[in-house]
Amino acid sequence: MQSYIVVLALTCLFSSIYAASVKTQECGRVDEAQLKNGELITQPNEHPWIAKIEDDEGRLLCSAVLIDARHALTGAHCAHSPSVEIKNLILGDWNLGDETVNTNAEATQKVPIKKITVHPGYKLGEAQNDLAIIELKHEVVSTDFVQPICLPSAEDLKGDKASGDLALAGFARIGRHDPLGTRRIKVPFESLSSQECHEQFKQFPTELICGFAARSPLSGSALVEAVGNPKKFHLIGIAVVGFYSSEKRDLQGYISIPLQLDWIQKNISE
């Protein structure tokens, strides 16, 4: 009887700890201390909408961005490869499966994918409309480590240049001997007019958001902005292309989420 009471007490304790980590579904949570700390590597619970797309051998292919409990966005080229079938979305994995980081084992959710909807205007090898919606088989559990980002309004991007205090959040392209390439990053983003980028690289579509950051993002990474009072993170763009400019800068192109809002909302509401 005494051992039963001990087991019951431990069960209640673990249940209460889990319940405390589960959050009411909300979007775009901002921690002001994290926002202003100037770090390149995120904390494990920072930018909790960033997901990973892996192949069957666990190699990281692309990032994705959770926009509600059942849907994420990524580049269409990430989901369009005939040689790789994407089966799961991995969320909460801050350090690429390194289980020596205790929070990873507790935080990570691997969710089966139900359907991928590629933008009807996408053409293989082109950056225009390079966007896909991932629908999950079941809802993610909202915790400190897994939460959706807010979608923007159509007014959040005016003209051909993104404005505001923007940041790249996701995973970087991994170079050789790169000590930072395995961890989720956040980097300030400096925007340029898309026309200026088109003049430097004629193949750059003027519909894309253009600019540069100190790190080159993996496709599907997020361009984000913290706005409002209280502040919430809004998704402004999805990384899809990069090129080396005539000014010897690594410029980046992002699908504009405000311009794609109608298509996104139509497809996630069906």
Residues 236 and 184 in one domain: yes
In a domain, 7, yes or no: no
- Is the pLDDT confidence value at 21 over 70? no
Residues 119 and 179 in one domain: no
Residues 121 and 167 in one domain: no
Band (3; pLDDT cuts 50, 70, 90): very low
Domain holding 116, by residue range, is 48-148+263-269
Q: How far is CA 214 from CA 19, 48, 127, 154, 177, in A?
A: 38, 21, 22, 28, 17
Residues 190 and 139 in one domain: no
Residues 175 and 248 in one domain: yes
35-44, 51-60, 174-183 — most confident range: 35-44
Give the total number of structural domains in the chain.
Answer: 2
11-25, 162-176, 227-241 — most confident range: 227-241
What is the predicted pLDDT for the residue at 257? Answer: 95
In a domain, 187, yes or no: yes
Percentage of residues in the chain having pLDDT higher than 70: 76
Band (207; pLDDT cuts 50, 70, 90): confident
In a domain, 164, yes or no: yes
- Is the pLDDT confidence value at 185 over 70? yes
Residues 124 and 182 in one domain: no
Percentage of residues in the chain having pLDDT higher than 90: 47
What does the DSSP assignment read for 189-225? EEEE-HHHHHHHSTTS-TTSEEEEESSPBPTT-EEEE
What is the predicted pLDDT for the residue at 192? Answer: 85
Residues 144 and 160 in one domain: no
In a domain, 241, yes or no: yes
In a domain, 186, yes or no: yes
In a domain, 16, yes or no: no
What is the predicted pLDDT for the residue at 55? Answer: 79
What CATH number is attached to the domain comprising 77? 2.40.10.10
In a domain, 251, yes or no: yes
Band (177; pLDDT cuts 50, 70, 90): very low
In a domain, 196, yes or no: yes
What does the DSSP assignment read for 123-186? -TT--TT--EEEEESSPPPPBSS--PPBP--GGG--TTS--SSEEEEE-BPP-TT-TTTTS-EE
CA geometry: angle at 228 spanning 222 and 232, to 5°?
40
- Is the pLDDT confidence value at 13 over 50? no
Residues 139 and 163 in one domain: no
Query: What's the chain's average pLDDT?
Result: 81
Would you give the DSSP letter of residue 46?
S
What is the predicted pLDDT for the residue at 82? Answer: 64
pTM for the whole structure? 0.84
Residues 191 and 209 in one domain: yes
- Is the pLDDT confidence value at 73 over 90? yes
